[in-house]
Amino acid sequence: MNQPAPASMMSRLRRTLAQQLGVNAEAERGTWLLRLVFRAPRAGQRDWPAVWAERLGRHLRFELAMELGEGAGAWFKRLFFRPRRRRVRLAANLRSARHYRGARRGSMLLGRIGQWLAPVQGAVGRARRAVSARLPVVPWASVGDRVDRWSSGLDRIPYLKQVILLLAFLVAVAFWTTPLAIDAQFRLFILVCAVMIIARRIPGRWPTMLMVSLSILMTGRYMWWRITQTLNFATPIEAIFGYLLFAAEIYTWIVLFFGYIQTAWPLNRQPKPLPEDTDSWPTVDVYIPTYNEPLTVVSPTVLAAKSMDWPSDKLRVFLLDDGSREEFARFADAVGVGYLTREEHRFAKAGNINHALAMTSGEFVAVFDCDHIPTRSFLQTTMGEFIADPKCAMVQTPHHFFSPDPFERNYDTFLRIPNEGSLFYGLIQDGNDFWNATFFCGSCAVIRRAPLMEVGGIAVETVTEDAHTSLKLHRRGYRTAYLRIVQAAGLATESLSGHIGQRIRWARGMAQIFRIDNPWLKKGLTFFQRICYSNAMLHFFYGIPRLIFLSMPCAFLFFGLHVFGADAISVMAYVFPYLFISGMANSRIQGQYRHSFWAEVYESVLAWYTVLPTTIAFINPKKGKFNVTAKGGLIESEYLDWATSKPYVWLLAINLAGLVAGIVRIFTVQRDEPITVLMNMVWALFNVAMLGAAVGVAKEARQVRVSHHVPLCVPATLVLADGKTIACNTENYSTGGLGMVLPEELKLERGAPLGVALSRGDIDYYFPAVVARNSGVHLGLKFEEWSYEKETQLIQCTFGRADAWVRWEEELVPDAPLQSFVEVIEMGYQGVLRLFDACLDAAEAVFVRRPRRSD
């Protein structure tokens, strides 16, 4: 009789011990050791020893840099020879912290506080709802409708508006110039605040006008007090600094008043219908100028322009290649569009378009930057305005960007906080349209050829040829129109340096126009057109005033200079109401398109770089040249752009030093003016937040894709390799692939071939693809067997859809001033931490000889 193998005896013994200890016989050694000390929990109870042992193991693996599955020898070695630990980052990873922001994706700090205080907030919320249920409900919407009806009735009374405006002006002058005691000034502020809070809850334009009127009253009162009471200085050096600050404030008052006029009544123009007979539709030449952009950026725009819904015999697309590249000539020939180039490359983009005007003959000209992809409905949306108004020379549509700009990418605010251009294309251009002052913006626009040729083509005297061209058209008495309906989308600037370069060109060009073709010095414009153009030009002179505001508190903190000839209580009684009321009014007007306090961040970033170009252009308008904004690049690793951020770092250091000087001053030489010292320290602290945010923007985040993914939810059909089809939906798209949402998980290996069918109306298009990623019900596809025909079909189903961008405004989160303030302060704090991280990285690279880490 054969004896059982020793292995069998060991396995039986192992199973017996496992049964006694309550572990699986195949469990790891750590589990066996744990059960020798701690018994298995009863059914339904949590195994706390296992939980804590697993956490302890994770911590030890992190501390010793151990991988899963390492043997006992490796663990023993690590106990004596530790690896070099990775330095902990001070700044937060804003992308990984998104879960703190909640459904509205608000401030990370407020999100964390909300989690900590959730029980308290819940109790407060229940109490507030209980109190609200007992109070009468105010029908704010019906109040707004009633106000609109009253205003409509008053409009029918002749000369009533003129009388009301005259009486309002007389009342305003009395309001501005009537002296009040300090306590009465504070009571006035409280009263105005109460009216503003009530008006803020009433929808409609007239409550907005009431808030603007109150802001003008409080600003005028502050101006009168500032001029008559605060310009008395003890020494000449104080007078110099004091009048510099006063001049900067005069600039802000002018821009504030002009801005109120410019955006007082957004027109919200709607498209005009086209004639039913397509034979009567005019011919349109589509210009797509390019210089040094890659073909991957240009080809979607060209193919989308070809696919616009317009009679084919009346639509001609031209690729204007100022780089004279063979590759582009072959591409134009392959897709059937015109290709124009020139031997003499003068006047950059303006010269390129003017050269094309001489070689084409369409009645209208549509211009698209080479990265702005039009929808198929672009011409049908815009051309009706020209048919309805023969004097209309230009129709402009918004510039929309489906990729984040440096602010949005580096601070993870994309589709959460409106970007820098949202205010201009969402509100300012619509306000300009009311005064017939819509600007040509160089792209996404249609121009009537005859008026354009009448003014000599696109303006070449300045580097902002677009705005200058529209100014010339308005001087000739032509009308322009703005449709706030996104009909094209493009790429935003990838890097902060590129973004600043683009803004420098705009600032230089506006200064050139202000110098050589000032809207106040020549005939042809209405009064309000002059205001709209002037405000657009004056806006780019904010560099010097912003730098004054960023450095002025240090004049007192360092040297004790009183730049304000008033006591601290008077400053609080007049300055704070002026700032608070104007902030509330601007939040009401701009809230959907510009959040509170973010203008200060944008201006702080750009101020240093716009001072010199605007000053030189104002003195000598012929200086400076057109620079092309780079598009389609890739940031492969994160880094702090030291060259760009250097001015902010110096200003930040000066304000931080000012805070230290203020602490010293309040306990030594300035004991008799503690409130004055504290007010200047608060001002410097606010500057630190703004400059910290500016430095933080210079920390370029890593960009993982060249092709940006755009959200899109439409039905699609997935076709598997075996012919099986699955109905699903798209999640996002790019020029290189699709993101899909499946009804259930599907086991597909990476690289597995399949296909996807998308529809454009009644037409279905099939795209062969492979699996790029598979995570649960989310599937990423990468297209294969690509051709211009397939790219055209994809564009027609995605970028070129008539409804591709119609809901862009709904994605914007309305402004909440307090939350915006907290968010900006938080960004400033994170920016300072990013600066410290970058300094430590630089020190490591120099002293430890370790390459800078790329997260």
Catalytically annotated residues: 322, 466
Identify the residue whose tokens are 């990013």.
Answer: 834
Tokens of 96: 């990984």
Task: Quote the distance between the C-alpha of residue 436 and its chain's center.
Answer: 27
Question: How many whole angstroms separate alpha carbon 351 and alpha carbon 358?
Answer: 11
Count of residues making up the chain: 855
Q: Are strands 725-733 and 763-775 parallel, antiparallel or unpaired?
A: unpaired
The neighbour count for residue 329, using CB atoms within 10 Å, is 14
Q: Residue 727: beta bridge partners?
A: 717
Q: Where are the beta strands (DSSP E) in 84-178?
A: none
State the burial class of residue 418 (Cβ atoms within 10 Å of its Cβ: 0-12, 13-18, 19+).
Answer: buried
Give which of 472, 454, 453, 465 is closest to 512, Cα–Cα: 465
Question: How many whole angstroms separate alpha carbon 424 and alpha carbon 647?
Answer: 27
Give which of 470, 438, 439 is closest to 452, Cα–Cα: 470
Residue 278, CA atoms < 13 Å, CB-side half-sphere: 9
Give which of 604, 705, 677 is closest to 647, Cα–Cα: 604
DSSP 749: -
Based on C-alpha coordinates, what's the Rg of the chain? 32
Identify the residue whose tokens are 């075996």.
Answer: 722
Secondary element (H or E) of residue 288: strand 284-290
Question: How many whole angstroms separate alpha carbon 451 and alpha carbon 469?
Answer: 10
Question: How many whole angstroms separate alpha carbon 296 and alpha carbon 307?
Answer: 18
Which residues lie closer than 8 Å to 490 by C-beta, 6 or more apart? 301, 369, 371, 372, 373, 399, 400, 401, 402, 443, 631
Task: Quote the distance between the C-alpha of residue 352 and its chain's center.
Answer: 30
Give which of 318, 268, 327, 320 is closest to 294, Cα–Cα: 327
The neighbour count for residue 127, using CB atoms within 10 Å, is 10
**3-state class of 373 per DSSP?**
strand
Question: How many whole angstroms separate alpha carbon 409 and alpha carbon 32?
Answer: 49
**3-state class of 448 per DSSP?**
strand
